[in-house]
Structure 1
Amino acid sequence: MRHIIKCKQHQRSIRRSLYNATALQSDVSRPNQSADSVNLDLEAARRNVRIVVIGAGLAGLSAAQHLLSHGFRRTVVLEATERYGGRINSQRFGDTFCELGAKWVPIDGSQDSTYELLRNVEGLGKRIKQPERPEYVKVDHDNEQNKVNPAMVDLIDALFRQLCGGLKVPDKVKTGRDLHSLDNVMAYFKTESDRAIGLTFKPNEQHTARAIFQSLFKEFSSVLGCCLEYVNIEHITSCPVQAYPSPIYVPTGLDNIVDELTQNLGREQLQTGKPVGQIQWTPSEVGEHNSVGCLDGSLYSADHIICTLPLGVLKNFAGILFSPTLPQEKLMAIRNLGYGPGPVKIYLSYRRPISIWLRSNLRPLGALINRVAERSWTQQVVEITQVPSSQHVLEVRVGGGYYEEIEKLPDNQLLEHITKLLRKCISNHLVPYPNEMLRSSWTTSACYLGGRPYYSTSSSARDVQRLAAPLGGKAPSLLFAGDATALHGFGTIDAARSSGIREAQRIIDYYNIKQYN
């Protein structure tokens, strides 16, 4: 059963550019409307306007906090799971806190950034990530292992950072040559790294150089949570993935910033266990009603709906979730944008201190191949790292592929493969099995169906703008926020936070302007 609420709509979307001084002066000077009545109208809106925010991730919670801080009291956040925070998921494990989702906060003092939020949390310990030199280890099939010259690693790392910044792309476009290497990020990386290897290294060094480059490709892939063959070259030219070399780390869990956002949300305003089944929105001023129906039978009437559903969920359910159906250009944007199955994170806890057998972080080159299956997910291991502030917990980062495979792999097989790899890397068959394991499951979670969005080979920045565009005319009926809806920081927690505030401000702007009409 659907409730219907009437709400004035107009033909064009609201923009902050409507703040035109001449127009405002003209409207304010109307003799038949006093300043007192204007303020009363705005206060009535703050008291009565119903706003439903779908999703209690960083985007949804930031939107709700922004609305409440501006007096919009009837704001409700609906979260499908029993946990709020979205892709920020901190878990107590072993002797420390582990991050199954976002981990690092870039130092960015701009307004609406996650760093700004983190900086304002009182009494929270923070650390800057210190530069680390992992130990690259060649793992061969004949049970031999060799350490790699650090000077070679440093040189290749510098060359790769240039590629990540897209420095070679403009030259390729201008000359019109070798354009096939711009089909996707992996093709670009492979072409340019082969050229650099041929120019820089001796024939007897080139095999190792390619392995180091491949490890860095996997690291890049682990950040995006997808295979680089699927990523548009525009991704590295528009939103560099590794622009912040010294981010902030929160030893006691990044979810502390989520707690900060929920302080002013009561139980009625933040409702968990509310998976949404249908979103009824108003496409024009010919009044239908806005409402959000949940799978438990509850129905929430709304004047405005802010949708922060993950792109993976939209890809699978946008066709049936919205009534009426979303416009074709928005459905196309949802289809075009990429959404990776990763990242995969695996944490291992040991009874005795790790330092007994592990001296440094490890980057395996040519990781173990499963002789029966001819391949193994361990080939995609980027780095094995001791978790900061821990004596007992290791983090295993995976990139390049096999994400869904890994999530479905039984625990005992996963532990067997990791332990075998560790023993091989440090030439120590006495490395113990861990006593506990914690692993991410973004792909298999029905409320996420994947991890971080990216520019696929069939998408561009235009799709991000189309996905972010509000619907419903001048009075925005249905608005979209989330890490896939912001060009700046696309796919990051900064994009999630700023997009939630952006859509909340869009509603606030509407009522600020409406009071003068």
Structure 2
Amino acid sequence: MISRMTAIALMVVLSMAQYASLATTPGPRVIIIGAGMSGISAGKRLSDAGITDLLILEATDHIGGRIHKRNFAGVNVEVGANWVEGVNGGKMNPIWSIVNSTLKLRNFRSDFEYLAQNVYKENGGLYDEEYVQKIIDRANNVEESGEKLSGTLHASGGGDMSILAMQRLYDHQPNGPATPVDMAVDYRKYDFEFAEPPRVTSLQNAVPLPTFSDFGDDVYFVADQRGYESVVYYLAGQYLKSDESSGKIADPRLKLNKVVSEISYSSAGVTVKTEDNSVYQADYVVVSASLGVLQSDLIQFKPQLPEWKIVAIYQFDMAVYTKIFVKFPKKFWPEGKGREFFLYASSRRGYYVVWQEFEKQYPGANVLLVTVTDEESRRIEQQSDNQTKAEIMEVLRKMFPGKDVPDATDILVPRWWSDRFYRGTYSNWPIGVNRYEYDQLRAPVGRVHFTGEHTSEHYNGYVHGAYLAGIDSAEILINCAQKNMCKYHIQGKYD
């Protein structure tokens, strides 16, 4: 008997085979949905291959997607992606070369080595450095044990477990990190990276993390007034026409404020409809909408996507990572070497834990950044900014009881989860998935192709993952359109 996994793999090959007689002209028409990093990256690769009859439909009024700056307190801050993660290793992170060498964006290496000196008690004052360091060392040792275990697990993902299960295994704690300091250290190590807690994050896909194994352990914070989005504009400028005076993209092939509502596809081509009742036709479509959008009802596919594709889409998590910027009339927090990052060790896990001050990045701005994720992000998005500001002020006054902590004068709270064009910030790999599910997520359905950071097997959730995913998905389309190689093979999960 044929196993269910093998049967699904065969279905994908057969569904692609029926489209083998695709357009043989050297320049098929392609619609790209979404002008974020993956969409723009895919467009560049297609253009480089001679496929220049492109149309990019972007739902918002700008390109860049989740790489986006906003003016706050007189400076441009990044409400989305902020770091180049994975630098100074064996391989060159492709985003780092653009940021640091080509565009020369202002960036600063983030140093978390001093956290033991900067963990605040729930009701004020600092924890003893030696006490915190022992907890950090223990967490690192447990992670090293988990890394060794991860390397022994079968590639199918059948033996995978949560990071929390691994912690229980090696730390001999029935419930994992439980004290305020344990939780704060754990949150900074895992939630701050994956935007979801260790209880739902895959050990096999996260420990060790390919981004750092491949590109290096260093991370650099981009704090340039041109914005991190300059990287996307730079890539777009390689194939889209720009206005000579303003430098802005002014190519008729890029259409902003075009919200795609329906994609119809058949062996003859694709038809894309937008909410303003515009209709566009092409030979192929590349969907670079976020995983959160694919899991919503914003875009209707006609016919409905096959079951194996829908299951793959819903099998992955769309996490929420919220960076809250707060402006004050004066500084009251410590500055200097080793003081950039500090933690609030609340008895409530994930409650305004990770803080960052900007002495170097935005001097004189008097701005703090606090990061929340997952359930706290969703909760905060549902309340007013004034309520969030009040909670933050209460936390800060507890942290610094002997200081004159003035009321915040402004606050910026991004709402990625509530935004129908994103429905979250980036994907997280759940327990038990491997290349099989990834291949299904990335696989085309006839003339409908898919890309996005969520389709990056090794670097999902990262800017470089989105960039490389755009290239990879474009290659699949190029092979089909130009070489008549339209069969996309998905190896069985246990093969």
Give the TM-score normalised by structure 2: 0.79
User: Structure 1 residue 385 and structure 2 residue 356: aligned?
Assistant: yes
Shift of 1:332: 0.8
Structure 1 stretches of 5 or more lacking a match?
Answer: 1-8, 15-40, 175-180, 199-205, 368-374
CA distance in 2, matches of 1:512, 1:230: 41
Output one character per residue of 1:1-53: Cα deviation in whole Å (capped at 9) or x when no partner: xxxxxxxx961799xxxxxxxxxxxxxxxxxxxxxxxxxx99x623xx21100
CA contact (8 A) 2:72 2:412 kept: yes
CA distance in 1, matches of 2:151, 2:289: 39
Output one character per residue of 1:407-447: Cα deviation in whole Å (capped at 9) or x when no partner: 12212221111111111112235201111111111100011
- Match for residue 246 of structure 1 among 198, 214, 218: 218
Look up the SS of the partner of 2:354 in the other structure.
Answer: strand
User: Structure 1 residue 445 and structure 2 residue 414: aligned?
Assistant: no
- CA spacing shift, 1:221–1:123, aligned 2, 3 Å: closer
- CA spacing shift, 1:212–1:63, aligned 2, 3 Å: same
- CA spacing shift, 1:383–1:310, aligned 2, 3 Å: same
Quote the residue 1:11 is aligned against.
17
Shift of 1:268: 1.5
User: Structure 1 residue 365 and structure 2 residue 345: aligned?
Assistant: yes
- CA spacing shift, 1:160–1:95, aligned 2, 3 Å: farther
Quote the residue 1:113 is aligned against.
94
Quote the residue 1:17 is aligned against.
none
CA distance in 2, matches of 1:495, 1:317: 25
CA distance in 2, matches of 1:212, 1:384: 15
- CA spacing shift, 1:59–1:511, aligned 2, 3 Å: same
Quote the residue 2:164 is aligned against.
186
Shift of 1:328: 1.2
User: Structure 1 residue 214 and structure 2 residue 220: aligned?
Assistant: no
Quote the residue 2:473 is aligned against.
503
Shift of 1:125: 3.2
CA distance in 1, matches of 2:433, 2:448: 23
Quote the residue 2:459 is aligned against.
489
- Match for residue 321 of structure 1 among 277, 294, 300: 300
List aligned pairs for 1:350-361, cutoff 5 A: 350-352=328-330, 354=331, 356-359=332-335, 360=339, 361=341
CA contact (8 A) 2:118 2:343 kept: yes
Output one character per residue of 1:464-508: Cα deviation in whole Å (capped at 9) or x when no partner: 110101222xxxx11110111111212222221111111222233
List aligned pairs for 1:26-175, cutoff 5 A: 45-46=26-27, 49-106=28-85, 107=87, 113-119=94-100, 121-134=102-115, 135-140=117-122, 143=123, 145-164=124-143, 166-167=146-147, 169-170=149-150
Structure 2 stretches of 5 or more lacking a match?
Answer: 1-14, 241-249, 486-495
- CA spacing shift, 1:350–1:504, aligned 2, 3 Å: same
Quote the residue 1:333 is aligned against.
312
CA contact (8 A) 1:93 1:438 kept: yes
CA contact (8 A) 1:164 1:240 kept: no
Percent of aligned pairs sharing the same letter: 23
Quote the residue 2:271 is aligned against.
291
**Comparing both structures, which one devotes a greater share of its residues to helix?**
1
- Match for residue 344 of structure 1 among 322, 330, 334: 322
CA contact (8 A) 2:167 2:173 kept: no
CA distance in 2, matches of 1:479, 1:492: 20
Letter in 2 for 1:214: M
- CA spacing shift, 1:268–1:487, aligned 2, 3 Å: same
CA distance in 2, matches of 1:110, 1:246: 12
CA distance in 2, matches of 1:471, 1:453: 21
User: Structure 1 residue 470 and structure 2 residue 444: aligned?
Assistant: yes
Letter in 1 for 2:327: S
- Match for residue 278 of structure 1 among 253, 262, 277: 262
Quote the residue 1:201 is aligned against.
none
Shift of 1:170: 4.7
Look up the SS of the partner of 1:67 in the other structure.
Answer: helix
Output one character per residue of 1:362-409: Cα deviation in whole Å (capped at 9) or x when no partner: 311135xxxxxxx6x8x5222221134223110001246322111122
CA contact (8 A) 2:150 2:207 kept: no
Look up the SS of the partner of 1:230 in the other structure.
Answer: coil
Letter in 1 for 2:417: T
CA distance in 2, matches of 1:162, 1:490: 25
CA contact (8 A) 2:326 2:368 kept: yes
Look up the SS of the partner of 1:105 in the other structure.
Answer: strand
Output one character per residue of 1:273-299: Cα deviation in whole Å (capped at 9) or x when no partner: 1111111122xxxx4331211111111
CA contact (8 A) 1:110 1:116 kept: no
CA distance in 1, matches of 2:219, 2:104: 19
Shift of 1:195: 5.5
Look up the SS of the partner of 2:71 in the other structure.
Answer: strand
Give the TM-score normalised by structure 1: 0.76
Larger Rg: 1
Q: CA RMSD in A?
A: 3.3
CA contact (8 A) 1:489 1:495 kept: yes
